[in-house]
Structure 1
Amino acid sequence: MQPHAPHPTDFLLLQIDWPEGGPPNATLAEQATGAVQAALAHSPVGLRVQRIAWSPTLRSAYLYCALAQRTMLAAADLAPLQAPLASALPGARQLLLSRLELVFERPGHSSGVAPAAHYVVEMDPEDGWMPEIARWYDGEHMPGLAAVPGCIHARRLLNHDHGPLSLACYDLITEEALGSPAWLAVRATAWSDIARPHFTNTKRTMFRVLATP
């Protein structure tokens, strides 16, 4: 895969990290989102902030910005957005903007309920294992977790810039859904035992969902 080549893009992911020792809290993260929305307002690809996820532990926010329609974008196409975003978020320690390609999406058992939690699993596959992991994810794992009570929405995307490559995310009623017997049963299948050991650079993060402006 050529990281700078054009890729089908459905979302942009803005990852914002704040330095240790300063505020920020969820309120400041929400305020930052308003600034981001204003900075993106004149984007030619019609961006809007769809989901704001905040981790107080990591002092980090994930902002999912939906494109008006799927668009082929190269890494260079993001360059005009960098300066407005940096100006809108002067207190951030790091800003990463990535193209996301949607590869799986399904409403969950609890679709329609407002989410309080957003769980993200990011990983790079071992060399040669992406086809098998994608079959497992999209054929068994994601549909199974979407069907668990407490799961509102399940989605998997490919991060073509600041990886890991695979980003699976789940909107949840509460974070306790992860410990439910139904959720644990989906994680414990024989196919899971084959696929999961071939994850590398794995990041699992539980976020709080903030209101979208």
Structure 2
Amino acid sequence: MAQASQFTDFILVQLTAVPGATGAAAQAALATKFAHFCEQSSLPLSLHRVAWSAPMQTAYCYARLVNPGPLAADDLLAMTDWWAVEGSGFSHIRVSRLEQVFAAPGRSAGERAAFHYIVEMDPEAGWMPEISRWYDGEHMPGLAGVEGCILALRMLNHDHGPYSLACYDLVTDQALHLPAWLAVRGTTWSDITRPHFTNTIRTMFDTQA
């Protein structure tokens, strides 16, 4: 875990269901449990999103800091301990500091987010500046403009990589197959930058809260 203080906008809690546990029961209680976590935290937090991947048996739970600012790695220890005690049915607990670097309301802003799509990656050495320009100048604004996208958000994970986390709240998971979405993904600039992604993880989640 990184030791230096890092500017933090969100806390991300990643949880994996224990093999053999009652997955449905743990999943059903997760949003309520995460709300309790936010309420009991010594840092003022507000629940932002709880997302669940059934194929991966994994949850990504986001809390927004009421007062964003620098946090040290040690500030996460009590949060990790809380989940070790209260996270019945889950294991592989990871708590991370996220720094927001891009946000744009989508064309479908205001509608219910049924799905949460994430692209995580580490940039190839020396490519982060160009990838950031592409993400913030073309890719994420373009995807935000596609029907079915509610919010486009990109953050840097200062603790448990991959380093870049781009996420999209969606009305439907079929948004990824729309011609407008595919057109944004298929630009010349995309063809230049995407080969320099490493450790890439793409996951579609159902939203629980």
Q: Is this a same-fold pair by TM over 0.5?
A: yes
2:13 is matched with 14
1:96 is matched with 94
CA contact under 8 A between 1:36 and 1:85: conserved in structure 2? no
2:75 is matched with 77
Cα deviation 1:36-79 (Å, max 9, x = unaligned): 33234232321122101010100011000111021200111111
Give distance in 2, aligned partners of 1:18 and 1:184: 33
Cα deviation 1:1-50 (Å, max 9, x = unaligned): x932111101000001012333212x532413322332342323211221
CA contact under 8 A between 2:120 and 2:201: conserved in structure 1? yes
Cα deviation 1:180-211 (Å, max 9, x = unaligned): 0000000000000000000000000000011x
Q: What TM-score comes out, normalization by structure 1 length?
A: 0.94
Q: What TM-score comes out, normalization by structure 2 length?
A: 0.96
Give distance in 2, aligned partners of 1:196 and 1:174: 24
Identity %: 51
Question: How many residues get paired?
Answer: 209
Partner SS, residue 22 of structure 2: coil
Q: Residue 86 of structure 1: CA displacement?
A: 1.3
Structure 1 letter corresponding to 2:40: H
Matches within 5 A, 1:1-213: 3-25=2-24, 28-210=26-208, 212=209
Cα deviation 1:80-121 (Å, max 9, x = unaligned): 222222111132121100000000000000110001111000
Partner SS, residue 20 of structure 1: coil
The list of structure 1 runs, each at least 4 consecutive aligned residues, that deviate by more than 3 angstroms after superposition, is none
- Which runs of no fewer than 5 residues in structure 1 stay unpaired? none
- Which runs of no fewer than 5 residues in structure 2 stay unpaired? none
